[in-house]
Amino acid sequence: MISFKEENEERRNALQQCWPTFSKQHWPTITRFPPSLIAEVIDRDKTEMPYDFCPWAPGLVVASDYLLEAAGCRPGLRRPSGWKEGNPDVFTKVIYGNRLKVRGCGELWSVERENVEVLAFPFGPVPMFTRTREGAMRVAEYCHPKALPGEYRCFPQPQGVASSLRWVVSDPTGIMWNGPPFAVVVPPQSTN
């Protein structure tokens, strides 16, 4: 029987092996999830993402205009109502039994839920960020809809355009996310 630590390390290694292909945006070769939700892939060392935030992730993805438009984000719109500023660059809003949170991380904004969950693209999983706080707020609200029948009301899954995204725990156990089959697929080795 494989231990949690060994399985975690195995998944982290698989993700690291696939990351160069994924980060060069050769998505169809390694994942079955829709790349239309991603505008850009950024290596972790080119961000200000804290070392303890999604520590397994070799980088992050930035939400596409397609996802932002689906979430109701338009140039010039102010932030949605109900968001309160806490610490500098941290905004929260209570909605459907949970507290949504967006947090500044250099020039990017994370999309989170209070129970240490982060919105993630299923490859890896890799955390999703936006370029503006308003965009992060709208994506957070869009990806935390009113629960469907049978879903626990505080933890609904994203629906519509964002239905392939998932909320995952942002601490080291987040890599063990049990959504659809683990999204890292090791590409075949070249025989050159």
Q: What is the mean pLDDT of residues 74-85?
A: 90
Q: What is the dihedral of CA 75, 82, 103, 88, to 10 degrees?
A: 110
> In terms of C-beta density within 10 A (0-12 exposed, 13-18 middle, 19 or more buried), how is residue 109 classed?
buried
Which run of H or of E encompasses 13? Answer: helix 4-23
pLDDT for 77 beyond 50: yes
pLDDT for 182 beyond 50: no
- What local confidence, expressed as pLDDT, does residue 179 receive? 45
pLDDT digits 0-9 by tens, 34-51: 668 888 889 999 999 988
Categorize the per-residue pLDDT at 181 as very low, low, confident or very high, splitting at 50, 70 and 90: very low
Backbone angles phi, psi at 27, to 5 degrees: -60, -45
- What local confidence, expressed as pLDDT, does residue 149 receive? 65
Q: What is the mean pLDDT of residues 114-134?
A: 88
Q: What is the mean pLDDT of residues 159-176?
A: 76
- What local confidence, expressed as pLDDT, does residue 178 receive? 46
- 3 state SS of 42: strand
Which run of H or of E encompasses 16? Answer: helix 4-23
Q: What is the mean pLDDT of residues 61-87?
A: 91
Q: What is the mean pLDDT of residues 24-31?
A: 58
Rounded to two decimals, the pTM is 0.79
Short-list 154, 112, 143, 129, CA closest to 41: 129
- 3 state SS of 85: strand
- What local confidence, expressed as pLDDT, does residue 16 receive? 79
Q: What is the mean pLDDT of residues 125-143?
A: 93
Q: What is the mean pLDDT of residues 53-77?
A: 90
The type of residue at 139 is V
Contact 48, 106 (CB under 8 A): yes
